[in-house]
Chain A
Amino acid sequence: DAGVTQSPTHLIKTRGQQVTLRCSPKSGHDTVSWYQQALGQGPQFIFQYYEEEERQRGNFPDRFSGHQFPNYSSELNVNALLLGDSALYLCASSPPDRGVKTQYFGPGTRLLVL
């Protein structure tokens, strides 16, 4: 059983470009959350998707958008990239609502904006 997978593993972009990151949740999980982690910092919540809709959103601008597909996989899109968007982007999935849920994290996509 594969855990949470993310692609690509690394990515280099230039300012102003757009990027799409992908995430496949752990088997049986239906909720996907995205986080941004700057070097030396804890992850910052971007948003969460459930039933193909954005359920919660953190304090990130509209340049950050997402999508969830019927198979529960998800994409994170970032438009008009800024240097400050350079970070490790983590995807986490969790199972259907059943009390306390543990989030399982993917390996992350490291984005470098030049």
Chain B
Amino acid sequence: KNQVEQSPQSLIILEGKNCTLQCNYTVSPFSNLRWYKQDTGRGPVSLTIMTFSENTKSNGRYTATLDADTKQSSLHITASQLSDSASYICVVSGGRNNRLAFGKGNQVVVIP
């Protein structure tokens, strides 16, 4: 079973609307959680990184939340733009070897 589960797998939203992506993890002990944006055929680009003591962090129109007690994180995209169409990958660092565990990504398509 994957240590990082993301939902929904994919979604289509209208330009200008908001959306929220979910990430649940089982990695323990927990070190930090990152959200990456990956455009098709490109490498992932870091959006946010949060440690245990942080429960929210923003990067422009992207706001990530973290609940380390329930092991859940969300990424909220405000006023979506066409350029937000991408895969959003949740990555959790921790575990016995402090490795990075990757989710499969949330595929977001923004339509005009």
**Chain A residues at the B interface, C-beta cutoff of 8 Å:** 4, 35, 40-45, 56, 58, 88, 90, 92, 100, 102-108, 110
Contact = CB atoms under 8 A, between A and B. Distances in A.
26 contacts: A35-B102, A41-B104, A42-B4, A42-B102, A42-B103, A42-B104, A43-B102, A45-B99, A45-B100, A45-B102, A56-B97, A56-B99, A88-B41, A90-B43, A90-B44, A100-B31, A100-B32, A100-B49, A100-B51, A102-B34, A103-B100, A104-B46, A105-B36, A105-B45, A108-B42, A110-B41
B103 A103 contact: no
A4 B44 CA distance: 11
Contacts, number: 47
Interface size class of B (residues with CB under 8 A): 20 to 34
- B contact face: mostly helix, strand, loop, or mixed: strand
Contacts of A100: 31-32, 49, 51, 93
A91 to B, nearest CB: 8
Given A43-B44, A43-B102, 12 more contacts: A42-B4, A42-B89, A44-B102, A88-B41, A90-B43, A100-B49, A100-B51, A102-B46, A104-B46, A105-B36, A107-B43, A108-B42
A21 B42 CA distance: 16
Given A42-B102, A44-B102, A56-B99, A102 B43 contact: no
A43 B42 CA distance: 12
